[in-house]
Amino acid sequence: MTDSDIPNENAFLIAAASVLGIKLDPAWHDSIRFHLQLSLRMAAMVQAFALPDEAEPAPVYRV
């Protein structure tokens, strides 16, 4: 997913907040949009990293 995958980011933010029952102050829209774009870029990097079929999940350590 890239930044252009969300054509109207403000509408997306408002709709997502509404579905989640979160009231957003319009003053926060720029910061929220920045973090959404950053998260999408990081997710794209993780998704683009090819793992070999032999890759094993990391063990879970419990204390």
pTM, two decimal places? 0.66
Confidence check: pLDDT of 18 > 80? yes
Residue type, 43: A
pLDDT at 22: 94
Buried-exposed string 22-51: b where 16+ CB fall within 10 A, e elsewhere = eeeeeeeeeebbeebeeeeeeeeeeeeeee
**Each residue's pLDDT tens digit, 40-57:** 899 999 999 998 988 888
Distance CA 9, CA 11 (A): 5
The pLDDT of residue 1 is above 60: no
| Model pLDDT, residue 62 | 87
Break the chain into its structural domains and give their ranges.
Answer: 3-48
44 contacts: CB under 8 Å, gap ≥ 6: 1, 2
Cβ proximity of 17 and 23 under 8 Å: yes
pLDDT above 80 for 58: yes
